[in-house]
Amino acid sequence: MIRFENVTKIFSRGTIPAVSNLNIEIPEGTICCMVGPSGCGKTTSMKMVNRLHSITEGKIYIDEVDNSTIDPISLRLDIGYVIQEIGLFPHMTIADNVATVLVEKKWPKQEIGKRVDELLELMGLEPKIYRQRRPSHLSGGQRQRVGVARAMAANPPIMLMDEPFGAVDHIARVRLQNEFLTLQEKISKTIIFVTHDIDEAIKMGDMIAVMREGKLVQYSTPEDLLSTPADEFVANLVGGNRSIKRLHLIRVSEILNRKVATVNMSDTLEAAKKHVIENAFNVVYVVSDTGVLNGFIGKVELKQEGEFVKDVYRSYPEIISDEATLSDALSVMLSNGESYVPVVDDFEHPLGAVSLEDVFKAVRQDD
Amino acid sequence: MTDSGVNINSAVISAEESVSPTRRFFIGIQKSGPVLVPLLSLAAMIVLIIYMVNNPGGAIEARILNYGNVLRMFREHITLVLVGSGAAILTSVPLGILITRPAMRRYTPLIDNPVNVAQTVPGLAILALFLTIFGLGFRTAIFALWLYSLLPILRNTSSGIQGIEPGIIEAARGMGMRPWRILIRIELPLALPIIMAGIKTATVVLVGSAALSTFIGAGGLGELIVTGIDLMRPTLIYTGAILSALLAILLDNLLGSLERYLRER
């Protein structure tokens, strides 16, 4: 648990406080998103937790211990710290980067190696391939993963994340966000997550702290933030299309209940036809021998010449994973031009489908 | 995502396979450069000395160009350069590190400016100036050469460290690295190429400046050159000039190898 108690930060005497009289309590195992325009004091607040910035007035308690009484080095070694991808050490290999805190904590060499492999695997980076690479040989998304792996190395109970997914494109960011939320379900860290993107905050945060000019404007759950913004500033920040933003809050896995039958590539069209007619969207999924979703057959495809499924099937331009949000699902539906979207698991095995109707229903239930 | 990394790798391999034989020849030279160039310049120096001693081209030249004389001057020259730049490295690198510490930043001009001034004084003038204090000989020459090579090393050390992306240092601090660990594990390795560039510049310049030491009786290859000028014997001038040029190339390459060794460690 992290508790800010009347925390004020003044950088130089006589200037306006960067943070003034901040009171927040972040419960164990939750993500608190700090959001606001640049210069609002969100990063400063975060950096006072691991004492990269000193506190001018007030106290920050970590598990009821005043953090100014803890030696800053050992305090920081026990708090994971992720900043934008520039924070990776370019002259070290990925393994050495991830091992940084472990080396500082003087872990035995063998255990470090084992832990590094474990972390790389957890982040979906094959250790054999990536251990000896340099950060410059990784894509933006991979670097962010290494950054997260590095912060989690010593399994700290608390993590501070400063725009951790800021430097990647939208698609990679959505993926990283989903992966991280799935991970958080397993590891349950107490996290301060700084971002300027309100959509990201709504999606990632269990609680959201909206800040402006060093002051806390609103501290509430994403749902409350959307339904009852504290003032005009928050309402403007959240934006006009609040019901669309609510789609960020619901994950596909929560509403997924439609099954779609599957056929193999080598099946006959006759077998596929039966499924197509029975299905609500008039489709049947086509899967490979390993069960990976390859495409579909609908009414149009049935009319084409051919005897087997593999002759006529079409592939989907885009599919989504069950970790995605309804907002992702909706945007894929729009780009596919279909009123449903296929949902797959991590191995691209089909799980079912979400329809436009399901999305409507979910938002209505939420009201 | 994992695929993209593999693709990069295979792209590199195929690029290497598709180069023409001539390009491959030059790549070969580049790769063997660390060994080839120092060996070649060393061989050239030996050949030059042997040739000149055996074909001095005149009685006056012959009296100066014997093995004992040339090797002494050569040895003196190397000693001047190595001791001078060695002393400069030992002062400038720690000083450069010191002025980049956060607590010391405001004193930077106090060190920076005198060193700048030292660089603006011509080498010969420095020699003359300290001649009056330390007298003739090796010690004065070393002192002047040391003073003269402070700036490039100091400047490169401090700007090499200051040029590191602040986010990298901040990440290191945020993860709980102690300041001296950040210096050793992050700052120095990242600034190494720039620090080494300063050391290389200083050393190469020093090979030239050391030739001036002969004016205060510290010997070196400058003796050959100055004697050549006085007696109007171009053979002597060329021998001295070419030998110091080859020495500069040799040292530059050896330092380059040292840098590679340090970087891979």
Residue A99: give its domain's CATH number: 3.40.50.300
Rounded to the nearest 5°, which phi and psi values hold at A314? -120, 150
pLDDT of A272 higher than 70: yes
Determine whether the interchain pair B175/A89 forms a contact, defined as Cβ–Cβ distance below 8 Å: no
Asked if A265 and A311 sit in the same domain, the reply is: yes
CA distance A17 to chain B (A): 22
Asked if A99 and A190 sit in the same domain, the reply is: yes
pLDDT of B32 higher than 80: no
ipTM, 2 decimals?
Answer: 0.72
Determine whether the interchain pair B189/A141 forms a contact, defined as Cβ–Cβ distance below 8 Å: no
Assigned domain for B31 exists: no
Q: Which amino acid is at B67?
A: Y
DSSP state for residue A39 in the 8-state scheme: T
As for how many domains chain A has, the answer is: 2
**Residue where a domain stops, chosen among A198, A230, A248:** A248
Q: By the 8 A CB rule, do A220 and A25 touch?
A: no
Strands A284-287, A262-264: pairing is parallel
Asked if A190 and A332 sit in the same domain, the reply is: no
- Residue A10 neighbours by CB distance under 10 Å: 15
pLDDT, one tens digit per residue, over A331-363 is: 888 888 888 888 988 888 888 888 888 888 887
Asked if A257 and A337 sit in the same domain, the reply is: yes
Assigned domain for B58 exists: yes
Asked if A219 and A332 sit in the same domain, the reply is: no
Assigned domain for B14 exists: no
Better-predicted residue by pLDDT, B182 or B5: B182
Question: Which positions in chain A touch B8 (Cβ < 8 Å)?
Answer: 137
pLDDT of B11 higher than 60: no
As for how many domains chain B has, the answer is: 1
CATH number at residue A320: 3.10.580.10
Assigned domain for B27 exists: no
pLDDT number for residue B18: 59
Determine whether the interchain pair B167/A86 forms a contact, defined as Cβ–Cβ distance below 8 Å: yes
**Sole residue written with tokens 């894509």:** A139
Segments forming the whole domain that contains residue A272: 253-366
pLDDT number for residue B243: 92
Nearest by CB: A129 against B6, B172, B190 = B6
Assigned domain for B214 exists: yes
* CB-count exposure of residue A61 (10 Å: 0-12, 13-18, 19+): middle
pLDDT of B9 higher than 50: no
**Sole residue written with tokens 């190898």:** B257
Asked if A83 and A194 sit in the same domain, the reply is: yes
Q: Taking the mean position of all CA atoms in its chain, how far away is CA A101?
A: 23
Helix (H) / strand (E) containing A302: helix A299-302
Give the count of Cβ contacts less than 8 A between chain A and B: 77
Helix (H) / strand (E) containing A285: strand A284-287
- Arithmetic mean of pLDDT over chain A: 88
**Sole residue written with tokens 């190595």:** B82
Asked if A223 and A153 sit in the same domain, the reply is: yes
Q: By the 8 A CB rule, do A249 and A327 touch?
A: no
Q: What is the mean pLDDT of residues B32-41?
A: 79
Segments forming the whole domain that contains residue B68: 41-264
Residue A69 token pair:
């009484």
pLDDT, one tens digit per residue, over B96-155 is: 999 998 888 788 888 878 888 877 888 788 888 888 888 888 888 898 889 888 888 998
- What are the DSSP calls for B89-101, one per residue? HHHHHHHHHHHTS
Cα separation, B211 vs B229, whole angstroms? 13
Ordered alpha helix ranges (H), chain B: 2-17, 21-54, 59-64, 67-99, 108-120, 123-134, 138-162, 166-174, 179-182, 188-209, 222-231, 234-264
CATH number at residue B85: 1.10.3720.10
Residues 90-119 of A with CB under 8 A from B: 90-91, 100-101, 104
Assigned domain for B34 exists: no
Assigned domain for B213 exists: yes
Cα separation, A165 vs A232, whole angstroms? 28
- Calculate the alpha carbon distances from A217 to A4, A32, A41, A237, B77 in Å: 15, 14, 12, 11, 72
Determine whether the interchain pair B176/A125 forms a contact, defined as Cβ–Cβ distance below 8 Å: no
Question: Which positions in chain A touch B167 (Cβ < 8 Å)?
Answer: 83-84, 86-87
Asked if A117 and A225 sit in the same domain, the reply is: yes
Asked if A309 and A228 sit in the same domain, the reply is: no
Is the minimum CB–CB distance between B3 and chain A shorter than 8 Å?
no
Q: Is A190 left (phi over 0), alpha (psi -120 to 50) or beta?
A: beta
Is the torsion defined by CA of B53, B56, B58, B61 positive or negative?
Answer: negative
Q: By the 8 A CB rule, do A202 and A222 touch?
A: yes
pLDDT number for residue A366: 55
Asked if A103 and A188 sit in the same domain, the reply is: yes
Binning pLDDT at 50, 70 and 90, where does residue A365 land?
low
Assigned domain for B247 exists: yes
pLDDT of A23 higher than 90: yes
Determine whether the interchain pair A81/B2 forms a contact, defined as Cβ–Cβ distance below 8 Å: no
pLDDT, one tens digit per residue, over A90-133 is: 999 999 999 999 999 999 999 999 999 999 998 889 999 999 99
Determine whether the interchain pair B168/A142 forms a contact, defined as Cβ–Cβ distance below 8 Å: no
Question: Which positions in chain A touch B176 (Cβ < 8 Å)?
Answer: 73-79, 101, 104
Cα separation, B187 vs A293, whole angstroms? 49
Share of chain A above pLDDT 90, in %: 43
Asked if A91 and A176 sit in the same domain, the reply is: yes
**Residue where a domain stops, chosen among A200, A229, A248:** A248
* CB-count exposure of residue A87 (10 Å: 0-12, 13-18, 19+): buried
pLDDT, one tens digit per residue, over A211-231 is: 999 999 999 999 888 888 888
Q: What is the mean pLDDT of residues B78-85?
A: 94
pLDDT of B17 higher than 90: no
pLDDT, one tens digit per residue, over B195-228 is: 999 999 999 999 998 988 888 888 888 889 999 9
**Residue where a domain stops, chosen among A215, A248, A281:** A248
Q: By the 8 A CB rule, do A200 and A165 touch?
A: yes
CA distance A202 to chain B (A): 26
Q: What is the mean pLDDT of residues B157-176?
A: 92
Residue B131 token pair:
């001649």
Asked if A298 and A201 sit in the same domain, the reply is: no
Binning pLDDT at 50, 70 and 90, where does residue A33 land?
very high
